[in-house]
Copies of this chain bind each other. A is one copy, B any other.
Amino acid sequence: MVEPLQIASPGPGLHEITDKVGAVVRQAGVLEGVCTVFVRHTSASLTIQENADPSARHDLERWLERLVPRDDPHFTHVHEGLDDMPSHIKAALTSVSLSIPVMEGRLVLGTWQGIYLWEHRDAPKMREVVVHVGP
């Protein structure tokens, strides 16, 4: 089963999509298999991070912001705005796809793991994430 999901991204940051992905897995009815999550963009990415304490995600975002500052004088790809090139770099350093085993009809996520769309652009956007569940 393949299901494209539309995710409204209000702006930069980690937006949790665990429930949306889990709903596709339930709908697929696969008891044992793999769930593949794929983002169809190069300026947003995917990550699995702690879903309990929001301070962990806050620090993670701030740290990556500092590692890839937007006013880098070496950037030449700047015609789409100063937040564009850092977005591509942040996407390359994180994940475009995740593969999560399914056991007894459920994602085998750990207790503290949540699935996140990581938006790197400033403007609100509609993002597409494709979820596949197979044997």
Residues of A with Cβ closer than 8 Å to B? 1-2, 4, 32-34, 36, 38, 40-42, 47-50, 53, 55-56, 58-60, 62-64, 66-68, 72, 74-77, 85, 88-89, 91-103, 108-110, 112-113, 128, 130-132, 134-135
CA distance A50 to B98 in the complex (A): 19
A98: chain B residues within 8 A (beta carbon)? 96-97, 99
Known: A40-B108, A94-B93. A74 touches B68 (CB 8 A): no
Known: A59-B77, A76-B58. A47 touches B108 (CB 8 A): no
The answer to whether B100 and A97 have CB atoms under 8 Å apart is yes
- A sample of 30 inter-chain contacts (CB < 8 A) reads A2-B108, A32-B132, A34-B34, A34-B36, A34-B132, A36-B101, A38-B108, A40-B110, A42-B49, A42-B110, A42-B113, A47-B92, A49-B91, A50-B88, A56-B77, A59-B88, A63-B89, A64-B92, A92-B94, A93-B93, A96-B98, A96-B113, A97-B99, A97-B100, A101-B130, A101-B132, A103-B130, A110-B128, A134-B134, A135-B135
